[in-house]
Amino acid sequence: MPEDVEKLLEENAERYNRPAFIEADPISIPHRFSRLQDIEITGFWTAMLAWGQRKTIISKSEELLSLMGGAPYDFILHHKEKDRKPFLKFKHRTFQPTDTLYFLEFFQQYYRRHESLEDAFARHLSEKDEHVEKALAGFHEFFFTLPYAPERTRKHIATPARRSSCKRLNMFLRWMVRQDDKGVDFGLWKRISPRQLLMPLDVHVDRVARRLGLLERRQTDWQAVLELTARLRQFAPEDPVKYDFALFGMGVLEKQTGGLP
């Protein structure tokens, strides 16, 4: 492992974990709202669409938001079956209208019974759990308990039971759970601890983590997520995922400049 890795991570976490990060990142979508449920709905859906260029992810999320009349929670609660017709035209890569319609159905049934999406994750977790594996696996099963849940939609809600890295779900949990005074992550959920969070492992984070000697496993899978997060806990046991800002930020810059800062 290169010398002063902790210093490098701390410097770059500080560099990227600031409000200027928001504008060009998908987290800008939920940052348009102040109501908890609006943040949850747009945050979750944006995170599930988060593959490809960030500019495209933001654009597709804006399209989805427009279909909800710019008021996601109100739309979810009160829309009728006929109001779903415009969503039949919404697509993003392999995310198809069938998936969109099921998301709408799940959210409507869920929010008519529950105040916050936090319970759908936290109900599967205890304070004694080292990390959020049980929360992610439990949420996947819970999400598909509605009758006629499309089998094809399961691929859009990852689960550690299939050894997926669960990048998008881990990113969403970072947004909702991490608490600091930087203004990027929301820190709205209290039943999951920041120390239990796991790294959102994408190609940028993977590349830089390997370069810094933080990740040895060859596959970019669930075991790699656990390995990387365990390494980062050595530097920040109570908030290991703050280094997502550093590794992702350095990864984007490396791709642009050909080298690490």
pLDDT of residue 257: 47
> Model pTM?
0.95
pLDDT of residue 220: 94
CB 207 within 8 A of CB 251: yes
pLDDT of residue 20: 93
Copy the structure tokens of residue 101.
């319609």
Q: Which pLDDT tens digit goes with each residue over 129-148?
A: 999 999 999 999 999 999 99
Q: Which pLDDT tens digit goes with each residue over 163-217?
A: 999 999 999 999 999 999 999 999 999 999 999 999 999 988 999 999 999 999 9
Q: What is the mean pLDDT of residues 117-132?
A: 97
